[in-house]
A and B are shown apart, each in its own frame.
Chain A
Amino acid sequence: MTALLEVRNLVTEFPGEAGNGLRAVDDVSFRLGRGKVLGLVGESGSGKSVTGFSIMGLVDWPGRVAGGQILFDGEDIAKADAETRRSLRGRRIAMVFQDPMMTLNPVLRIGTQMTEALHAHERMSSAAARERARDALGLVGIPSPEERLDAYPHQFSGGMRQRVAIAIALLHRPDLIIADEPTTALDVTIQAQIISEFQKLTEDQGTAVIWITHDLAIVSGLADRIAVMYGGRIVETGNIEDVLVAPKHPYTHGLIRSVPSQNSRGHRLAQIPGVTPSLARMPEGCAFRTRCERATDACTARPGRFGDVLAYHRCFHPHEEALV
């Protein structure tokens, strides 16, 4: 059976000052089956959002997908024409963004925006569209959905707005949802509400999810698989248990150990020295070598993929033993 989504050697470039292409996404490969959740983890500037945008076909000029394949349901959509991409976007692949206020038009009623999204892909009467919109709002746990259809975005709280954005993403029962930090701006309690709605809906509908986040703790309870990005590359990917229990790449290792928890109370956190270099100053070879305690001369060569597409890392000196 073919995977729902297979990304092969994806490269997305933005023009640099010197006229060379800066690779925001550099040779990214992963596979995602139907109904599965992939946690795409990384810090700011690691290329995780651009990966999401590339799959959606939303990379703005002058950035471009410069190489690789995006096989969606067996078809390469990286090279598809604009019309094909448009018919997929919102219908079979949907996206939820970090800030719902960016998704929602502040001067249109919620109902108008939802029926608009329905009419974009399906011929249906306004009454039928309104009914579908109302049901979708009810599904994401918005009280009295009938009345709320006539409300404007500013009349909702942050958590409720994000529910509306999720309802819009789910309108066409997409096969894949790309969720880009959907709960980062929300309180822990509201975050738990949103994730629990998301879990229910995607399980019921068999939707695959790419959950883009910097928060390892969320991913650990939500995802089946994880991919850790650094400097535009996936430095490590695999089953969530395998990666979190025994991370191989020193960056994954450091990232997990730098999260404060009950065990770290009163001690210093293990910190990764330095900062993420900007794309223009990314070191040759392994991008992490300037911050890595295990780096040697071998790391000036570019590490390939060690392992298969489902579980690999890019490190010449991986950690062998499990994290304690």
Chain B
Amino acid sequence: MTMAETVAGASTPLLELRQVSCRFGARPDLAARIAIALGAAKPFPIIHALDKVDLKIRKGEVLGLVGESGCGKSTLGRIAAGILPPSAGQVFWKGEDRATLRGSRQRDADLEAQMIFQNPMAALNPRITIEKLVAEAPSIHGLIKGSTSSYVDDYLTKAGFDPAMKKRLPHQFSGGQRARVNIARALAVQPDFLVCDESVAALDVSIQAQILNLFMDLREQLDLTYLFVSHDLGVVEHISDRVAIMYLGRVIEEAPVAEIFSRPNHPYTQQLLAEVPRIRPGKRRFAAMKGELPSPLNPPKGCHFHPRCPHTHERCRIEVPKKREIAPGHVSACHLNDKQAV
């Protein structure tokens, strides 16, 4: 029995998103609202970053979230980490609606989900030593029992960073070491759940392998759950138990990792996974998916993928496809799965 199957049995998911939407746009002031109402001005453009996303993350699993730039995967990661409120929909943390939490329970929920960002330099304050960077949050929240110094050393060591160098500033370290500091800082508030937003994208191949191994080790040691956001299919395939594919603000397919890479169902997933660069000697033709991701300012009607899809029929242009379970744990949103339609 694999890890994914074991955790599938657990009752309450660690995190559940229900019908979560997120829109970005300027809010019109009174004058603008009047002008719009009178037809003297156009409504402000709104970016539909997420469109009614349902997603469950079970305790102990690694969920890989894949999609092209602009598909909303980082927004989804931020909402999951609790640093961005959704415009609509509900986020349940350990079975409780996050929006209803107050006081110390809200604080605990906030600390239990942490985020590791893409750019390890931008995420670290350049004027603060490594020791202070790691100690700041846990000391504010009173998590440190005993000496601060040994607490920091403990977490730096967990992240594979030599504590002897903790008095230095971030710029004195390489990208890989900064990534380790970021990980130590996130771990220092004792989270259950880590959102890694392209956390290894900026690293060299040999350093990336070190950090990926570190994530795997920490998962075992600290019983962590991950949401691993990445555009790198090789990395996602390596680290995830389950994979969710996003396209223009919607999760269109979800399945255990072996299932999705061997039997992708949605036409977008099929084409996306055909592009996974693999080390395979011998020249080959790079066949390309046509077109680009449409603008989230004005997403296509019906199925968002229909303008690029080779199987488009009339229904795809009008009706948003519903998610259907096509195999155990394998959910896909495509009209082709409806027998009546074919």
Contacts and interface: CB of A to CB of B under 8 A. Distances in A.
B129 interface: no
B285 A199 contact: yes
Contacts of B206: 43, 254-255, 258, 271-272, 276
**Chain B: interface size category:** 35 or more
B281 A199 contact: no
Interface in A225-257: 240-241, 244-245, 254-256
A75 B68 CA distance: 45
Interface string B200-236: 0000111111101100100000000000000101110
B68 A187 contact: yes
Contacts of A276: 204, 206
A159 B291 CA distance: 10
Contacts of B257: 265
B270 interface: no
Interface in A2-23: none
Interface in A202-243: 214-218, 220-222, 224, 240-241
Contact of B234 (A217, A272, A275): A217
Given A190-B292, A270-B209, A240 B68 contact: no
Interface string B266-290: 0000011001111111111111110
Contacts of A272: 206, 209-210
B238 A261 contact: yes
B237 interface: yes
Contact of B286 (A199, A258, A260): A199
B278 A192 contact: no
Contacts of B292: 157, 159-160, 190
A262 B237 contact: yes
Interface in A105-132: none
B253 to A, nearest CB: 16
A193 B238 contact: no
Interface string B231-275: 101110111000000000000000001100100000000011001
B101 to A, nearest CB: 35
B212 A188 contact: no
Contact of A192 (B177, B205, B212, B287): B287
A231 to B, nearest CB: 13
A191 interface: yes
Contacts of A244: 279, 281
B279 A256 contact: yes
Contacts of B233: 188
B86 interface: no
Contact of B209 (A157, A195, A216, A258): A258
Contacts of B176: 275
B125 interface: no
B266 to A, nearest CB: 14
A189 interface: yes
B286 A221 contact: yes
B118 to A, nearest CB: 13
Contacts of A268: 213, 216
A269 interface: yes
A87 interface: no
A264 interface: yes
A188 B237 contact: no
Given A157-B292, A188-B272, A220-B279, A271 B213 contact: yes
B174 interface: yes
A280 to B, nearest CB: 14
A304 B214 CA distance: 36
A58 B216 CA distance: 43
B162 to A, nearest CB: 12
Contacts of A254: 206
A300 interface: no
A260 B237 contact: yes
Contacts of B239: 260
A199 B280 CA distance: 17
A259 interface: yes
B278 A261 contact: yes
B69 interface: yes
Interface string B44-74: 0000000000000000000000001100000
B209 A189 contact: no
B272 A189 contact: yes
A222 B281 contact: no
B277 A217 contact: yes
A44 B209 CA distance: 15
Contacts of A260: 208-209, 212, 234-235, 237-239
B287 A215 contact: no
A43 B205 contact: yes
A220 B280 CA distance: 6
A275 B179 CA distance: 13
A264 B213 CA distance: 11
Contact of B237 (A43, A160, A261, A269): A261
Contacts of A160: 292
Given A214-B205, A218-B277, 9 more contacts: A188-B231, A189-B289, A193-B289, A217-B279, A255-B205, A258-B208, A269-B213, A271-B210, A272-B206
Closest 10 CB pairs of A and B: A217-B277, A260-B238, A258-B209, A193-B288, A43-B204, A269-B209, A196-B286, A195-B286, A272-B206, A241-B281
21 contacts: A43-B207, A158-B69, A159-B292, A187-B231, A188-B68, A188-B275, A189-B272, A193-B288, A196-B287, A220-B278, A220-B280, A222-B283, A245-B281, A254-B206, A258-B205, A260-B239, A261-B237, A262-B278, A265-B258, A275-B207, A276-B206
